[in-house]
Chain A
Amino acid sequence: AQKITQTQPGMFVQEKEAVTLDCTYDTSDPSYGLFWYKQPSSGEMIFLIYQGSYDQQNATEGRYSLNFQKARKSANLVISASQLGDSAMYFCAMREGETGNEKLTFGTGTRLTIIP
């Protein structure tokens, strides 16, 4: 079974609109972390936002917020007021494992295209 599932291979969104990128995960470990990374066409991996499994509040970082629904095992990324520079691949990832032995598992990504 996939540990991280991103069901939207591609999305097109009008500039200045909000966009939600879906991510569901599968784990039996009570302690885990969820990350979102952005990969622009230049190829580098840019960390966006983090949510810990014990965090009570949804994480926010500027225009990025994470809609964390633990019971549904979903961790959707919300980008408000999208910009042309948001066009990129977006990856959801889950960290599991004991301290010092953590590993990240990545989803297959969503390609977001912002339309002017």
Chain B
Amino acid sequence: NAGVTQTPKFQVLKTGQSMTLQCAQDMNHNSMYWYRQDPGMGLRLIYYSASEGTTDKGEVPNGYNVSRLNKREFSLRLESAAPSQTSVYFCASSEPGQYSGQPQHFGDGTRLSIL
């Protein structure tokens, strides 16, 4: 039962470097999400994809880009990393359903430090 798989688990970058966080889910979910979690704060939505081929901005999209490569994969790219982007990044997926109790399933997170 893989669920949602994120790679890498840990990464250290220098300011200005770029990198892509990978996320894949094997639950055939339509919706996928990227969040960041900072100390003392809850998770904040960066971008989401309601279905393959669509992406939309969340609460904190600046400095990030995303790609919904196919139904399984949703990647997050930092083009020019900044220290303010030091955080734990979570990918999640779910089935759509305004009236259902379908929860979002989360990956284990990527701890990203930017020096």
Contact = CB atoms under 8 A, between A and B. Distances in A.
Interface string B41-76: 111110010110000101100000000000000000
Nearest to B48: A103
Interface residues of B, number: 31
Given A33-B101, A44-B106, A54-B99, A102 B42 contact: no
B99 A103 contact: no
A106 B51 contact: no
A60 interface: no
Contacts of A106: 42-44
Contacts of B100: 33, 52
Contact of B88 (A33, A35, A43, A54): A43
A50 interface: yes
B94 to A, nearest CB: 8
Contacts of B98: 31, 33, 95, 97-99, 102
Nearest to A104: B104
Interface in A13-48: 31, 33, 35, 37, 43-45, 47
A79 interface: no
Interface of A: 4, 31, 33, 35, 37, 43-45, 47, 50, 52, 54, 91, 93, 95, 97-109
